[in-house]
A and B are shown apart, each in its own frame.
Chain A
Amino acid sequence: MDVSMTVNGKGVSADVEPRTLLVDFVRDNLGLTGTNVGCDTSQCGACTVHMDGMAVKSCTVLAVQADGSDITTIEGMATNGQLHPMQQAFWDAHGLQCGFCTPGMIMASVKIADGNPGITDDDVRHGLEGNFCRCTGYENIVKAVKLGAAAMSGGQS
Chain B
Amino acid sequence: MSRYMGTSVKRVEDPRFLQGQGKYVANLVLPNMAHAAVKRSPLAHATINSIDTSRAEALEGVIAVYTGKDLLEGTGGFKCGSLPCGWQVPDLNMPPHNPLAVDKVRHVGDGIVVVVAESPYIAEDALDLIDVDLEPLPAVVDGREAMADDAPLVHESADKNLSFHWPLGDEDAVNEALSNSDHVVELEFVNQRLIANAMEPRATAAEWDPATQSVTVWTTSQNPHTIRLLLGAFTLGIPEHKIRVISPDVGGGFGSKIFHYPEEVIIPFVARAVGRPVKWVASRSEAFVTDAQGRDHVTKAKLGVNDDGTMTALHVTTWANMGAYLSTFAPLIPTALYITLFAGVYKTPVIFGEAYGTFTNTVPVDAYRGAGRPEASYMLETMVDLAARKLEMDPVEFRRKNLIQADEFPYQTPVALVYDSGNYQALFDKIEGLSDYKSLRKEQEAARAEGRLVGVGFASCIEASGPAPSAAAVGLGAAIGLFESGAIRVHPTGKITVMTGSHSHGQGHETTFAQIVADEFGIDIEDVDIVHGDTDRVQYGVGTYGSRSAALGGSALVKSAEKIREKLKRIAAHQLEASVEDMVYDQDEGTISVAGSPDAVKTFAELAFASIVADNLPEGMEPGLEEMTFYDPSNFTFPASAHVAKIEIDRKTGEVDLQSYAAVDDVGNVINPMIVEGQILGGIVQGVGQALWEHGIYDEDGQLLSGSMLSYALPRADRFPSIAVDRIETPSPHNPLGVKGAGEMGTIAATAAVSSAVLDALAPLGVTHLNMPLTPEKLQRAIAAAGNGGGE
CB distance from B11 to the nearest CB of A (A): 7
**Contact of B449 with A by CB under 8 A:** no
What are 15 residue pairs bridging A and B, where the CB atoms are less than 8 Å apart in the complex? A37-B26, A73-B20, A75-B20, A98-B17, A98-B249, A99-B16, A100-B198, A100-B251, A100-B252, A126-B718, A134-B714, A135-B678, A137-B685, A140-B678, A142-B717
Q: CA–CA, A77 to B46, complex, Å? A: 51
**Inter-subunit contact B200/A38 (CB<8 Å):** yes
Chain A residues near B18: list those with CB within 8 A: 83, 87, 90-91, 96, 99, 102, 106
Does B446 sit at the interface, judged by CB under 8 A? no
- For residue A22, CB closer than 8 A to chain B, the reply is no
- Residues of A with C-beta under 8 A to B111: none
Contact yes or no, B723 A139, CB < 8 A: yes
Query: What 1/0 mask marks residues of chain B from 271 to 298 whose CB sits below 8 Å from any chain A CB?
Result: 0000000000101110000000000000
Among A74, A83, A102, A138, which residue has the most Cβ atoms of chain B within 10 A? A138
Query: Do A44 and B678 touch across chains, with their CB atoms under 8 A apart?
Result: no
Does A114 reach chain B (CB closer than 8 Å)? no
Nearest CB in chain A: distance from B618 CB, A: 45
B14 part of interface (Cβ distance < 8 Å): yes
Q: Does B414 contact A (CB under 8 A)?
A: no
Q: How many residues of B contact A (CB 8 A)?
A: 59
The reply on B32 being an interface residue by CB < 8 A is: no
Which of B323-331, B482-490, B500-508 is the contact stretch?
Answer: B500-508
Q: Does B683 contact A (CB under 8 A)?
A: yes
A41 to B29 CA separation, bound complex (whole angstroms): 25
The reply on B199 being an interface residue by CB < 8 A is: yes
Min distance, Cβ A149 to any Cβ of chain B, angstroms: 15
Q: Enumerate B103-147 residues with CB–CB distance to A below 8 Å.
A: 121
Q: Tell me whether A141 and B678 are in contact (CB under 8 A).
A: no
Once A103-B20, A139-B681 are accepted as A-B contacts, the answer to whether A97 and B254 lie under 8 Å apart by CB is no
Q: Which of A118-138 contact B (CB under 8 A)?
A: 121, 124-126, 128-129, 131-138
Closest 6 CB pairs of A and B: A34-B20, A99-B17, A100-B251, A137-B685, A98-B506, A43-B709
The number of residues on chain A lying at the interface, defined by a beta carbon within 8 Å of a beta carbon of chain B, is 56
Cβ of A97: which chain B residues have Cβ within 8 Å of it? 252, 506-508, 678-679, 682
Contact assessment for B17 and A96 in the assembled complex, using a CB-CB cutoff below 8 Å: yes
Residues in B neighbouring A43, C-beta threshold 8 A? 708-710, 714
Chain A residues in 8 Å Cβ range of B249: 98-99
Find the A residue at minimum CB distance from B254: A134
B interface, CB within 8 angstroms of A:
8, 10-11, 13-22, 24, 26-27, 29, 121, 197-201, 249-252, 254, 281, 283-285, 505-508, 674-675, 677-679, 681-686, 708-710, 714-718, 720, 722-723, 746
Could you tell me the distance between the alpha carbons of A20 and B238 in the complex, rounded to whole angstroms?
38
Contact between chains at B285 and A100 (CB < 8 Å):
no
Q: Is A40 an interface residue (CB 8 A)?
A: yes
Known: A36-B251, A39-B709, A137-B684. A94 touches B675 (CB 8 A): yes
Choice from A33, A39, A138 contacting B27 with Cβ under 8 Å: A33
In the complex, which residues 64-114 of chain A have their Cβ closer than 8 Å to any Cβ of chain B? 73-75, 77-78, 83, 87, 90-92, 94, 96-103, 106
Q: Which of A83, A91, A99 contacts B506 (CB 8 A)?
A: A99
Residue contact B709 to A91, C-beta cutoff 8 Å: no
> Who on chain A is nearest to B750 by CB?
A137
Interface residue ranges, A against B (CB under 8 Å) = 17, 19-20, 27, 31-41, 43-44, 46, 73-75, 77-78, 83, 87, 90-92, 94, 96-103, 106, 121, 124-126, 128-129, 131-142
Chain A: CB-nearest residue to B281: A37
Q: Is the CB of B284 within 8 A of A41?
A: yes
* Nearest residue, chain A, Cβ from B196: A134
CB pair B722–A121 under 8 Å, yes or no, is: yes
Q: State A106–B674 Cα separation when bound (angstroms).
A: 20
Shortest distance from the beta carbon of A129 to any chain B beta carbon, whole Å: 4
Q: Are B20 and A136 in contact (CB under 8 A)?
A: no
* Beta-carbon nearest neighbor of B20 in chain A: A34
Contacting residue for B11 out of A40, A91, A121, CB 8 A:
A91
Tell which of A35, A40, A83 has the most Cβ of chain B within 10 Å: A40
Bound: A136/B508 CA distance, A: 12
- In the bound complex, how far is the Cα of B716 from the Cα of A153, in angstroms? 27
Q: Contacts of A94 on B, CB cut-off 8 Å?
A: 8, 10-11, 674-675, 677-678
Query: Do B198 and A40 have beta carbons less than 8 Å apart?
Result: no
Chain A residue nearest to B249 (CB atoms) is A99
Contact at A17–B24, with CB atoms within 8 Å? no
In this complex, which of B10, B252, B283 has the most chain A Cβ atoms within 10 angstroms of its Cβ?
B252
Chain B: minimal CB distance from A17 (Å): 7
Please judge, given known A-B contacts A97-B508, A141-B717, whether A136 and B17 are in contact too, CB under 8 Å: no
CB < 8 Å: which of A17, A27, A137 contacts B681?
A137
Beyond A44-B199, A96-B17, A101-B251, 9 additional pairs, beta carbon < 8 A: A38-B201, A43-B708, A83-B15, A99-B17, A102-B18, A132-B199, A136-B678, A137-B682, A137-B685
Cβ of A45 to closest chain B Cβ, rounded Å: 10
In the complex, residue of chain B having the shortest beta-carbon distance to the beta carbon of A121: B722
Report which residue of A94, A103, A142 has the largest number of chain B beta carbons within 10 angstroms of its beta carbon: A94
Whether the Cβ atoms of B717 and A138 lie closer than 8 Å is yes
* Contact A98–B20 (Cβ < 8 Å): no
**Residues of B close to A102: CB separation below 8 A:** 17-18, 22
Residue of B15, B22, B26, B708 with most partner-chain A CB within 10 A: B22
A41 to B674, CA, bound (A): 33
Q: Which residues of A contact B714 (CB under 8 A)?
A: 43, 132, 134
Residues of A within 8 A of B26 (CB): 33, 36-37
> Distance in Å from the Cβ of B666 to the closest Cβ of chain A?
19
A139 smallest CB distance to B (angstroms) = 5
Q: How far is B287's CA from A37's CA once the two chains are assembled, in angstroms?
A: 13
Most buried by A among B197, B283, B685, B716: B716
CB-CB < 8 A to A121: which residues of B?
A: 722
User: What is the CA–CA distance of A29 and B681 in the complex, to the nearest angstrom?
Assistant: 38
Contact B20 A140 (CB under 8 A): no
In the complex formed, the residue of B with least CB distance to A89 is B18
CB contacts (< 8 Å) of B10 on chain A: these are 91-92, 94
Q: Which of B13, B14, B284 has the most CB of A within 10 A?
A: B14
Q: Which of B121, B199, B709, B720 contacts A98 (CB 8 A)?
A: B199
Beta-carbon contact of A99 and B716 below 8 Å = no
